Amino acid sequence: MHSKCREPDYPKSQNKVKRFQVPYGKVEWTTDFHDYKPVNYTSTAILKSPAWADKLIGAEGFSPLWNKLDGNTDRRSHEGEYEVIDGVPQNPHGRTGIIGRGCLGKWGPNHAADPVVTRWKLDGEEKVINEKSQLPILQFVSIKRWDNGQWAIPGGMVDPGEVVTTTLQREFMEEALNSYEMTDVQKSEAEAQLKELFSKGEEIYKGYVDDPRNTDNAWMETVAFNFHDPSLKGILYSLKLQAGDDAQAVKWMDIGQELGLYASHRDFIETVAQKHKAHW
């Protein structure tokens, strides 16, 4: 049941747009909610129709192929076919209290990718064991988002026509290594260093994200991959982290259940911890 996209304040809205409140029991479309009066909100940035965003429904020359690969735009959901009512896609996870696109560019699914890069926490050459669980502590590369100050996986949007494996490494390099500020030579060196690690990723999640930007008609979906270095001395122990793009800070974060992270990221991290039999 999504909850972060039912919180009262819609993110990034200058005039503090408030969602129509959807109680827990009224989220599903199949539950009657006669008094449901969602607020119609699409940010001014999106209404200006930048190249990466869709046009208004009904606009001249805009004939989207819902549930299909539409040219370079993937309008398919990872969760199967979504409903389209009166020409408008419906959030497969139910009501959010906002109609329109909010600050998301695409109607329907907006596709992202999340690289979960992990290593074991060390004390000298030994793994650090948590006293309570008696399990070793895993660390992941976490960034602090500029938009809301929350810690998150350094994920980002899949560019039109881009393959997800490219997005995963590109976003990691932009947000956690600040590749924008690298020379071409430095960038190729970093790519070469990460090549092996990023060639052995494991998919840990694919589907809907409970992102605070979601609306009834536009929502985030992601593919999350874990890139883990089991050695206790590989590249991940010498990598120079530097925040860039969406990120104002970056660090190796210890994994444990006290973590509070952006959107559904805590769930992805829990999956990774279980997979490696690490402390949670």
Site for ligand RP5, rule CB under 6 A: 112, 114, 152-153, 155-157, 209, 211, 220, 222, 246, 263
Nearer to ligand RP5, 159 or 196 (CB): 159
Q: Which does 263 bind (CB under 5 to 8 A by kind): Mg ion, ligand RP5, none?
A: ligand RP5
- Residue pair 137/128 in contact (Cβ under 8 Å)? The answer is yes
Q: Which does 64 bind (CB under 5 to 8 A by kind): Mg ion, ligand RP5, none?
A: none
Q: How far apart are CA 78 and CA 222, in angstroms?
A: 8
Q: Is 156 in the site for Mg ion (CB under 5 A)?
A: yes
Q: Is 162 in the site for Mg ion (CB under 5 A)?
A: no
Residues in the chain: 280
Rounded to a whole number of angstroms, the minimum distance from the CB of residue 172 to ligand RP5 is 11
Nearer to Mg ion, 94 or 155 (CB): 155
Q: Which does 222 bind (CB under 5 to 8 A by kind): Mg ion, ligand RP5, none?
A: ligand RP5
Q: Which does 114 bind (CB under 5 to 8 A by kind): ligand RP5, Mg ion, none?
A: ligand RP5
Give which of 170, 143, 140 is closest to 158, Cα–Cα.
170
E strands in the chain: 39-42, 69-70, 73-74, 84-85, 88-89, 98-102, 108-120, 122-123, 126-127, 138-145, 151-152, 156-157, 202-208, 218-228, 247-254
Nearer to ligand RP5, 112 or 218 (CB): 112
Nearer to ligand RP5, 104 or 137 (CB): 104
Residues that bind Mg ion (CB under 5 A): 156, 171, 245-246
